[in-house]
Amino acid sequence: MSFQQELESVKETALKELGAIKDSAALDSFNTKYLGRKGIFRDLSSRIPQLANEEKGQAGKLLNEFKNILAQRIAEKEPDLKSAPQVSGDLPDFTLPGEDKNIGRQHPVYRTLADICGIFSRMGFEIAYGPEIEDEYHNFTSLNIPLNHPSRDAFDTFYLNLKTEEPKNERTGKEAESSSVEGGRWLLRSHTSPVQIRVMQNRKPPLKVIVPGKVFRPDKPSPKHFPMFHQVEGLMVGEGISFTHLKGILDVFCKEAFGASTEMRFRPSFFPFTEPSAEVDITCIICNGKKVNENNESCPTCHGEGWIEILGSGMVHPNVLENVGYDSEKYTGFAFGMGVERIAMLKYHINDIRLFTENHIGFLSQF
Ligand code: DAH
């Protein structure tokens, strides 16, 4: 084999080897093997002086070309290998569909809660929070709820047998006695209304707050009842606050929450902590107040009434204002409270409150 033929075959092998290289370490050893100090190129060059004189010129030229080609190909390959991920073994199949990561979503109750808070925040209400473990004074006594009121009964409230210090009566600072009117038994709050008291005890009017949170009642679970649910309480106190303000604020809320064509009405009611008190109904969001469905049957959601109740409200009772040390001759206010699950059930057509706590992916992923 002539020197020239030998060179051709070395070149062919070298380019094949180079083509198969997949990482920069292999490229380095390839470089050393061919162009290194003891490399193949050096070896071939050292044989030129032994060639016949007429062969020397051509052989030197071809050898140089070979060196340049190798150097150029190595330089071209280098950046590709550096940026490519260094994978050993078989390459993954990049054409396979990606893995779908389930990132979850907001629970329908919390979504409804956030929507409600959003509507009132835009009307200038601040958000306030209070403890879920309350004392009897805040949950009942300060709210003008008399001792014989059924909601104070053990059937309607979770009382706790805590061995900690008895809560003090906030107003008198006296140790509360377990069975007294100002009794200091600990309990799980049965509504968010005690936070009205906590806010007013800490602040001077004017104030405008909403209170989202969990409440607890020892109700047997059923499609409409669950021992834990959520409420949003509202309170606005200042000079010259009247029922008109309550109506204006709630009308905006109903239209924002249930749609611009929603109408609201007040229905006289009774709550110990408001006077006068009223329940608020909206036009049924299923039959739009028509009382019947498309088949002319009585609407099952509003039972053919055309209206559904969504919250309780009223003007803050003067006794409640006096209980927190506000001058009830100078200041007036309104309050309201609504059940969040009830509103979520109406909005999303859910017929069983227990679904909210069962953690069924099939249920939750619909929202
Ligand atoms: N606390 C009442 C309940 O749980 C709801 C309520 C009614 C709150 C009227 C209020 C109100 O602030 O004014 O049934």
pLDDT at 86: 60
Question: Which DSSP helix (H) or strand (E) runs through 100?
Answer: none
Written as six digits, the tokens of 211 are: 């209170």
Written as six digits, the tokens of 256 are: 């924002």
Q: What does the pLDDT average to over 123-127? A: 98
Distance CA 100, CA 90 (A): 23
Q: Whose CA is nearest to atom 5 of ligand 1?
A: 337
Distance CA 367, CA 358 (A): 15
Whether residue 89 is predicted with pLDDT greater than 80 in this model: the reply is no
Instruction: For residue range 177-198, list pLDDT tens digits in order.
Output: 443 334 478 999 999 999 999 9
Which atom belonging to ligand 1 lies closest to the Cα atom of 234? Answer: 12
Question: Which DSSP helix (H) or strand (E) runs through 128?
Answer: none
Instruction: For residue range 192-228, list pLDDT tens digits in order.
Output: 999 999 999 999 999 999 999 999 999 999 999 999 9
**Cβ(271) – ligand 1 distance below 6 Å:** yes
pLDDT at 3: 86
Whether residue 1 is predicted with pLDDT greater than 90 in this model: the reply is no
Which atom belonging to ligand 1 lies closest to the Cα atom of 233? Answer: 12
pLDDT at 209: 98
Neighbours of 89 (CB within 10 A): 5
Whether residue 132 is predicted with pLDDT greater than 80 in this model: the reply is yes
Nearest to 286 by CA among 356, 353, 351: 351
Written as six digits, the tokens of 132 are: 């879920």
Q: Whose CA is nearest to atom 4 of ligand 1?
A: 191
pLDDT at 236: 98
Most confident of 38-47, 62-71, 167-176, 303-312: 303-312
Q: What are the helix (H) ranges across the chain? A: 3-20, 24-35, 40-47, 53-83, 108-122, 136-139, 194-202, 243-258, 318-323, 340-348, 361-364
Nearest to 266 by CA among 279, 276, 277: 279
CA dihedral (67, 70, 76, 78) positive or negative: negative
CA dihedral (34, 39, 40, 43) positive or negative: positive
Prediction pTM value: 0.71
Distance 193 CA to ligand 1 centre (A): 6
**Could you give the 3-state DSSP secondary structure of residue 143?**
helix
Q: Name the β-bridge partners of 228.
A: 216
The DSSP code sequence of 290-346 is -SB-TTSPBPTTTTTSSEEEEEEEEEEPHHHHHHTT--TTT-EEEEEEEEHHHHHHH
Contact by Cβ (8 Å): 150, 272 = no
**Cβ(336) – ligand 1 distance below 6 Å:** yes
Give the amino acid at 311: L
**Cβ(66) – ligand 1 distance below 6 Å:** no
Q: Which of 144, 191, 334 to probe ligand 1 with, by most ligand atoms within 8 A of CB?
A: 191
Q: Which of 197, 211, 219, 233 to probe ligand 1 with, by most ligand atoms within 8 A of CB?
A: 233
Q: Which of 273, 315, 321, 342 to probe ligand 1 with, by most ligand atoms within 8 A of CB?
A: 273
**Cβ(193) – ligand 1 distance below 6 Å:** yes
Which pairing describes strands 207-216 and 228-238: parallel, antiparallel, or unpaired? antiparallel
Which atom belonging to ligand 1 lies closest to the Cα atom of 337? Answer: 8
pLDDT at 108: 97
Q: Whose CA is nearest to atom 8 of ligand 1?
A: 337
Q: Which residues contact 352 (CB under 8 A, 6 or more apart)?
A: 223
Q: Which residues contact 340 (CB under 8 A, 6 or more apart)?
A: 109, 112, 113, 116, 212, 229, 230, 231, 232
Most confident of 24-28, 191-195, 284-288: 191-195
pLDDT at 182: 44
